[in-house]
A and B are shown apart, each in its own frame.
Chain A
Amino acid sequence: MSASNQVSAVLAQGGAIPAPHIEYGQIAPMLLVFGVAIAGVVVEAFVGRTWRYTVQVPLAFLGLAGAFVWTIVLGWRDKPFHVAAEGALGVDGPTLFLQGTILVLALISLLLIAERGSSGQGGVGGGHFTAQAAALPGTEAEQETMAAGITQTEVFPLLMFAVGGMVMFPASNDLLTMFVALEVLSLPLYLLCGLARRRRLLSQEAAVKYFLLGAFSSAFFLYGTALLYGYAGSVRLSDIAAQLSRDAGSETLLLGGVALLSVGLLFKLGAVPFHMWKPDVYQGAPTPITALMASCTLVAAFGAMLRVFYVAFENMKWDWRPAMWGVAILTMVIGAVIAITQTDIKRMLAYSSIAHAGFLLTGVIATSADGLSGTLFYLAAYGFTTIGAFAVITMVRDAGGEAAHLSRWAGLGKRSPVVAGTFAFFLLAFAGIPLTSGFTGKFAVFKAAIEAGATPLVIIGVLSSAIAAFFYVRVIVVMFFSEPEADGPTVVVGLPTAAAVALGLTATVVLGVLPQPMLDLAGHAASQMFVR
């Protein structure tokens, strides 16, 4: 029904405006996360500085855990799903799976973000975040805030706002909600990127680059939305699909809209040629935030991508598939090849993340229930592994912060075999060695892609996995088969970080050795596809 009709109908009733029907039960996880975010802002305003940390951490933890439990309950009841909030949000099987994944991964990231450590020699000392972002690097003001022992607690509400946007992003059933969710998840991340405690110039530069490029890409997303609104007269995904099946409307607007919308979405997942921000931002951002972006943001972005292409544009898959093939091939190959030349460990993992985005795109291209469930499984498996890997990076430290350069990792296997062994295991999971979760995930998406007739894509995918395996193995060789330097980095183990590594390791092993329960869950979630 068009809005002007509604207006005249209301006027005829004499001003009694019908209230919109909101299914609060179905959207409760999102509301809970946003509620806790706002409560966190209030805590920042009214609770004394010494108590903020002790209040903020349990608050954020309970918010995320409560939202996760509620998501499980929603999935458990398993009624036929339908859209919520007047069609703005679609809470269905795949969305609940993705939301649950995002919330669990955010909980593990919270462990890393909450790490405050001891201020011992080379230690984490006050956490990964600058005490006061406004104090200039290298000035007296900065030293004063350091000496006063102030810890940064504004990161917790910012984290909750970002996670709220992330759980809303894959659920958005119209493009306006999706745009708002995109901004709600991005804006706090821009700020969080600039808050590193050490190497602050790098961190601020990462924030500026991420912000300018992110704003640029969301403008493209929005113009794509405008063109699709011009095409279909509505921004609802199901209305766009209906207009497509009627074969009405201007094709120019449609194709332009799809192209510009894809630019916005592909930017968020860091697909080539929209990947240039990813290495810079992953390297410069504080490592816990890098872990959050590499796992939760990727899951959310793929959720939105899947919904848009499976619901709105499924009828025109013959038009977008060739372009998406090109993007997937470039992403896999360029991600894997450029990663070989990297010497910074976070930058290397950023290129590895680009290559993984390419593997995941093959699941999107399959456009089938199998492709959907494979992508869901891969996202969960990759998220746990990548958080674990970044958590290990936060533990290996020099005097000036993390030991970023690869040469500093030489001989770590002899110095601290457990940490190096864990990291080696994560790298093998990235490479997709059998008995790790990475193998099962790759197998699931590649199988779906072959069934959908994308065999050449899968061959390129397997070849670029082989290229990628080279640089993963190179790190393992550096760690285990070279002599440690005399003044090598120390391994600083904080309890929350160790817990995050343990969780990532457990998930990687379990999903590799016993993947069937999780595969069943993903298959069950994907079986009813998306609601419209």
Chain B
Amino acid sequence: MSPGHYLALSTILFTIGAVGVLVRRNAIVVFMCVELMLNATNLAFVTFARMHGNLDGQIIAFFVMVVAAAEVVVGLAIIMTIFRTRRSSSVDDANLLKY
């Protein structure tokens, strides 16, 4: 299988994630879509590492995983706090700040 297929898959996953962020209403689902985008990036990094024949891309993938894990901790804490206050995790309900 040519590396191009993996890149195509990575692009498709990234696009699904980006569209998901834009159209979904639940903050948790929006956040999951961001994670999907990060995983699509990892796939691209590993594929490019294979194509260039160096290991940089694979190392970067590990860094991305660690950063994504840290982001989950912070993100879920913030989403949990607003859910406990408002009894809703819909991003449409948080509408006090506008204009």
A and B from one complex: yes
What are the residues of chain A within 8 A of B79 when measuring CB–CB? Answer: 208, 211
Instruction: Write 17 A-B pairs (CB below 8 A) sorted by A numbering.
Output: A3-B56, A4-B54, A137-B85, A179-B67, A187-B71, A194-B78, A200-B85, A201-B85, A206-B97, A207-B82, A208-B94, A212-B34, A219-B18, A219-B38, A223-B37, A226-B44, A279-B97
Interface residues on A, range: 35 or more
User: Are the C-beta atoms of B44 and A201 separated by less than 8 Å?
Assistant: no
| Residues in chain B within 8 A of chain A (CB atoms) | 7, 10, 14, 17-18, 21, 27, 30-31, 34, 37-38, 40-41, 44-45, 47-48, 51-57, 59-60, 63-64, 67, 70-71, 74-75, 77-79, 81-82, 84-86, 91, 94-99
- Other-chain residue from A3, A206, A222 in contact with B41 (beta carbon distance below 8 A): A222
Residues from chain B with Cβ under 8 Å of A219 in the complex: 14, 17-18, 34, 37-38, 41
Closest to B52 in A: A233
Besides the known contacts A280-B97, A284-B97, 19 further A-B residue pairs in the complex with CB atoms under 8 A apart: A3-B54, A180-B63, A183-B71, A187-B74, A190-B78, A191-B77, A204-B78, A204-B94, A205-B97, A208-B94, A211-B74, A211-B75, A212-B75, A215-B71, A219-B37, A226-B57, A230-B47, A233-B54, A341-B99
Complex Cα gap A349–B53 (Å)? 50
In the complex, which residue of chain A has the Cβ closest to the Cβ of B17? A219
Tell me the complex Cα distance, A279–B98, Å.
8
Q: Assuming A4-B54, A222-B41, A223-B14, is B48 touching A205 (CB within 8 A)?
A: no
One digit per residue, 1 when the CB lies within 8 angstroms of any chain B CB and 0 when it does not, for chain A 173-189 equals 00010011001000100
* Closest-CB distance, A25 to chain B (whole angstroms): 25
Q: How far is the CB of A412 from chain B (nearest CB, A)?
A: 23
Is A283 in the interface zone, CB < 8 Å from B? yes
Bound complex: CA of A180 vs CA of B69, how far in Å? 13
Across the interface, name the chain A residue whose C-beta is closest to B47.
A230
Q: How far is the CA of A206 from the CA of B96 in the complex (A)?
A: 9
* Contact call A133/B60, Cβ cutoff below 8 A: no
- Residues from chain A with Cβ under 8 Å of B17 in the complex: 219
Q: Are B91 and A229 in contact (CB under 8 A)?
A: no
State in angstroms the CA–CA spacing of A226 and B42 once bound together: 8
Contact A2 to B54, CB < 8 A, known contacts A191-B77, A211-B75, A227-B44: yes
